[in-house]
Amino acid sequence: MLVLFFRSALLALGCLSVFSAQAGIVLNTTRVIYQGKDKEVSLGVHNSGAGEILLQSWLEPYDPTGVSAQPQDSDLPFMVTPPLAHLQGDGKQLVRIIHAGHGMPSERESVLWLNVQEIPRSAAENTLQIAVRQRIKLFFRPAGLSGDPALAARQLQWQWLPGGELEVFNPGPFHVSMLRIGAHQGARELASQDSRMVAPGQRWRLPLKSPSTSAPLELRFTSINDFGGQETYRATLKGAQAVSASLVDSP
């Protein structure tokens, strides 16, 4: 039985080794920004593995819980082309996204999930086949939208509520994606959140751990810009007055 166990373990490791050698799609961006005035937007996909794969791409409505649906027809007014493509080892493919020109809100930015999935074309005996999916956000900005998305993070309104919560309100038309949100009083951490995206017009609250009303609240967070870069912001809150955060030079 022990010999059989080791043989099974070696077979499993061999399967994973073959999979690791074959798989590896690489996207040339971490997010897609679709300007409504443009006819289309595109991104590049690279098959960094040695084997041929089938590439499948589709859009789906954004779900903040992270739940993802299988590829299916939807009512989204977009076309992804090609929806299916064959890529040789080390091959590249341009995926285009085309908006129908209607069917999306005109007063604010919208967000969708863009899924790109690789499916191995064939496999030898005793090898493991796994369909690997990558998913990134697509932000659609309708034409004529006012404001500057580069300033969206500093326009957030932060407020220390009397009930012991930290609230942020997004008054602008753009989504703000944040990392490493933290609130402190001196050396004591009162709240932390790894990541959060605040939608246009949304209010979000973060509970605080027994804050002292006699000391200011120090807020710090990192925002992700259109190019995937990280920018650090900081603010000091005293009382219940809403404040905006300022960009700092270093994280």
pLDDT tens-digit map of 141-152 = 999 999 999 999
Q: Give the pLDDT of residue 134.
A: 93
Q: Give the pLDDT of residue 141.
A: 98
Q: Give the pLDDT of residue 68.
A: 64
* Rounded distance between C-alpha atoms, residue 97 and residue 136, angstroms: 13
Q: Give the pLDDT of residue 4.
A: 40
Q: Give the pLDDT of residue 127.
A: 64
Question: Which ranges of the chain have pLDDT less than 50?
Answer: 1-22, 251
pLDDT tens-digit map of 192-204 = 999 999 999 999 9
Q: Give the pLDDT of residue 119.
A: 87
Q: Give the pLDDT of residue 18.
A: 37
- DSSP state for residue 21 in the 8-state scheme: H
Question: What global pTM score does this model have?
Answer: 0.85
Beta carbons of 185 and 218 less than 8 angstroms apart: yes
User: Phi then psi for 13, rounded to 5 degrees?
Assistant: -65, -40
Q: Give the pLDDT of residue 222.
A: 98
Q: Give the pLDDT of residue 197.
A: 97
* Rounded distance between C-alpha atoms, residue 19 and residue 123, angstroms: 9
Domains annotated for the chain, with CATH where assigned, are 25-141 (2.60.40.10), 149-247 (2.60.40.10)
